[in-house]
């Protein structure tokens, strides 16, 4: 094993990259292909990755020569993908973005032997995602999940909330609001605080609109069928506020 390890890390006299460098680059290419759907035989690729990385671990090469490169390339990949997905939002609809982040997290767990630690709202992974079994150790899997959260989601918390939260609230979409909330929980506390502040601001603004003289509310708002305030009785005004309160309470209980 020691002799084989020496052969892998040795650099040729011509200055060419070592065999280890070429193996590492091949591993990174295969992982990238799994993420982008670039492999036909997913099972064979995952088996090859598992055998290669097991060999690297047995030769005491994995931690120093494979894991850092895998994490670094993953961080770059997720950061680029997060920016691209944010820029492609249609009509301030953040749901596809949230689902994609969730799928990436599930994918990271499927890559590693830590798949049982998936987040509470994790669904059964697609067959093609888990085909071939895991090939990374649990610590690397958790580090990849952190890379998704930190680089694909973390930098975009504010624009996501600003762009899409009001739309979700107007639809009473408690499932997607809850998904957003759970995705933000592992991030620094400021992310959760931003979401809750935006929720409170939306409720306050909706209440003011409901009581605005002559103002008709937006479609899909919980007060959409109420008449203008100058034609309401006092009881109707109170009813409008109570309906908004009930809606906010329902969202808070179901999503947070």
- Over 50: is that where the pLDDT of 189 sits? yes
CA dihedral 63→119→198→78, nearest 10 degrees, is 40
Instruction: Give the percent of the chain with pLDDT over 90.
Output: 60
* Domains of the chain with CATH codes: 2-187 (1.20.1310.10), 204-256 (no CATH)
- Over 90: is that where the pLDDT of 147 sits? yes
Those residues whose C-beta lies under 8 Å from the C-beta of residue 198, and which sit 6 or more positions away, are 161, 162, 165
Q: Could you tell me the pTM of the whole model?
A: 0.83
- Over 60: is that where the pLDDT of 122 sits? no
CA atoms 139, 142, 146, 152: torsion sign = positive
Instruction: Give the percent of the chain with pLDDT over 70.
Output: 80
181 — pLDDT class (breaks 50, 70, 90): very high
Query: CB–CB of 59/16 below 8 Å?
Result: no
Q: Indicate left, alpha or beta for 132 from its phi (over 0: left) and psi (-120 to 50: alpha).
A: left
């Amino acid at each position: 094993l020691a002799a084989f390890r020496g052969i892998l890390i040795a650099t040729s006299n011509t200055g060419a990259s070592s065999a280890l460098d070429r193996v590492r680059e091949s591993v990174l290419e295969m992982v990238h292909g799994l993420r982008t759907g670039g492999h036909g035989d997913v099972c064979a690729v995952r088996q090859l990755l598992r055998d290669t990385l097991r060999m690297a671990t047995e030769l005491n090469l994995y931690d120093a020569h494979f894991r850092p490169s895998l994490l670094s390339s993953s961080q770059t990949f997720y950061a680029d993908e997060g920016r691209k997905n944010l820029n492609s939002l249609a009509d301030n609809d953040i749901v596809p973005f949230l689902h994609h982040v969730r799928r990436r997290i599930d994918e990271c767990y499927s890559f590693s032997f830590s798949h049982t630690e998936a987040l509470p709202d994790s669904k059964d992974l697609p067959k093609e995602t888990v085909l071939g079994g895991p090939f990374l150790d649990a610590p690397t899997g958790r580090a990849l999940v952190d890379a998704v959260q930190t680089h694909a989601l973390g930098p975009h918390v504010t624009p996501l909330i600003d762009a899409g939260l009001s739309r979700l609230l107007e639809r009473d979409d408690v499932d997607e609001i809850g998904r957003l909330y759970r995705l933000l929980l592992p991030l620094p506390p400021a992310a959760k605080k931003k979401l809750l502040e935006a929720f409170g601001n939306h409720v306050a603004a909706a209440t003011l609109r409901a009581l605005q003289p002559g103002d008709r509310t937006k479609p899909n708002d919980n007060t959409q069928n109420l008449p203008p305030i100058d034609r309401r009785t006092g009881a109707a005004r109170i009813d409008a506020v109570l309906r908004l309160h009930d809606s906010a309470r329902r969202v808070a209980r179901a999503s947070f």
